[in-house]
A and B are shown apart, each in its own frame.
Chain A
């Protein structure tokens, strides 16, 4: 099993450009998440999904959109990149515990994005 994979690993964008980050998991997890990691800020939740076809906003959703058309994939889009979106982006997935939420999260290796 590959676990959680992220594409690409690195990317440099110019302000105003758009891009999509792809997260894929082969563990049949229901829940998927996108976080950003910034120095001194820890991990902050951008968007998450509790199942195929559903998405919800996290702590810092502005400037990002997501889609979960297939259970195994969770896409994070930046429509018009800004320097403030320079960060390391992590995807994670987890099993569902039904009404009790999710089990532990499994993380991808991260995508380092620089916006100039």
Chain B
């Protein structure tokens, strides 16, 4: 079955500590992978996409096709990183669609 899994509902880390938000997917083919973020009282917005190989706000995400994972990482967490993070593969099923994971709430503690 096609699915995307974010195993942690809540992840708490201290400011300055490294953070890794896990995402595993099981889709045939090669989906495009994205991370979306929702800060408190703000709308959901794109954080980064794997095809761009970019670093946004210090976050990076490496696509591991062998493990079918797309974990989001940041070496030094900041309090302003506290938010809800969604992994979202874009898959083809009749047409292209995003499939959102259940999300991980990141809390960065002072």
Interface, chain A (partner B; CB < 8 A)? 4, 33, 35, 40-45, 48, 50, 56, 58, 90, 92, 100-102, 104-110
Find residues 39-73 in chain B having any chain A CB closer than 8 Å to their own CB: 43-46, 49
Decide yes or no whether B101 CB sits under 8 A from chain A: yes
A104–B103 contact, CB under 8 A? no
Beyond the given A101-B95, A107-B44, could you list 7 further A-B residue pairs with CB under 8 A, ordered by the A residue number? A33-B98, A42-B86, A42-B101, A45-B98, A50-B95, A92-B44, A101-B90
> Which residues of B have CB within 8 Å of A92?
44
B102–A102 contact, CB under 8 A? no
A42–B97 contact, CB under 8 A? no
CA distance in complex: A56, B102 (Å) = 23
Instruction: State how many angstroms separate the Cβ of A44 from the closest Cβ of chain B.
Output: 7
CA distance in complex: A93, B110 (Å) = 36
Question: Mostly helix, strand, loop or mixed at chain A's interface?
Answer: strand
Instruction: State how many angstroms separate the Cβ of B38 from the closest Cβ of chain A.
Output: 8
Interface, chain B (partner A; CB < 8 A)? 6, 9, 34, 36, 43-46, 49, 86, 90, 92, 94-103
Instruction: State how many angstroms separate the Cβ of A59 from the closest Cβ of chain B.
Output: 8
A40–B92 contact, CB under 8 A? no
> Which residues of B have CB within 8 Å of A45?
97-99
CA distance in complex: A46, B98 (Å) = 12
B49–A42 contact, CB under 8 A? no
A105–B98 contact, CB under 8 A? yes
Q: Given A101-B90, A101-B96, A102-B96, check contact A40 B102 (CB 8 Å).
A: yes
> Which residues of A have CB within 8 Å of B46?
104-105
CA distance in complex: A44, B49 (Å) = 20
CA distance in complex: A18, B14 (Å) = 47
